[in-house]
Amino acid sequence: MSRMNLKRARETFPEIYERIKSQSPEHHFEFNDPFWVLITTIMSHRTKDEVTDRAARNLHTRYGTADRLSEASYEEVLSLISRVGFSKVKAQRVIDAARIIVEDFSGNVPDTIEELTTIPGVGRKTANVVLADAFRKPAIAVDTHVHRISNRIGWSKTKNPEDTEEVLKKIIPEEYWLGFNPMLVEFGKVICRPIGPRCGECRITEFCEYYGKLQKEESSKKKSANKGKK
């Protein structure tokens, strides 16, 4: 199925946005300090939010600052974040990120995507989360929820988050960028779930290509079943 017409996507976006917002719980932010937003987001890949937040709290309680985390032992950091996905890789990444912030950026998290993505383990999604959630700079962070929901609705038909981000920037007015990721994250948890999406409860089905496809498949099955009875 091809991507939704760009003109239609732009025209219908505000209505879709408001309906999604009405079904999305308020997103919990564990930190708003740029450094700890960065560290938390580095650990968040393929990890449930509650597990990520607990690990981030462990690090924050034990170290508190970029200086102290940069000097932490790998074994101790690993023990504190052991429940996050790929913890062995991420333990070294958060130590390295802290060291780079201290040594290369004088202890201050940079506020540009170009500088943020020079830090190992920081891709565009993580950088955009830091820009939007910590610095309040307009940015669209595309994680698995945003990528999945955008493709289901028909805003995009992309295979990777980077391409999804570029498409969304053409559709979404900049004044909606802040808060867009957290809203879709929550919508993706409670309604547009990866497995077993709650289409029967969803308020945007009339705009959703995924739902339209399901309806056509169901209609086709009924027709086939009726033919078989004749």
Catalogue the active-site residues: 125, 143
DSSP 77: H
Kindly state the tokens that stand for 148.
């999945």
Amino acid identity of 137? K
Cα–Cα distance measured from residue 39 to residue 133, given in angstroms and rounded to the nearest whole number: 13
Q: How far apart are CA 5 and CA 26, in angstroms?
A: 30
From the number of C-beta atoms within 10 Å of its C-beta (0-12, 13-18, 19+), residue 188 rates as buried
The total of other beta-carbon atoms located within 10 Å of residue 48's CB is 13
Furthest C-alpha separation in the chain: 78
Burial class for 216, CB neighbours closer than 10 Å (0-12, 13-18, 19+) = exposed
Instruction: Report residue 184 as tokens.
Output: 């879709």
DSSP SS3 for 230:
coil
Interatomic CA distance for residues 61 and 47, integer angstroms: 20
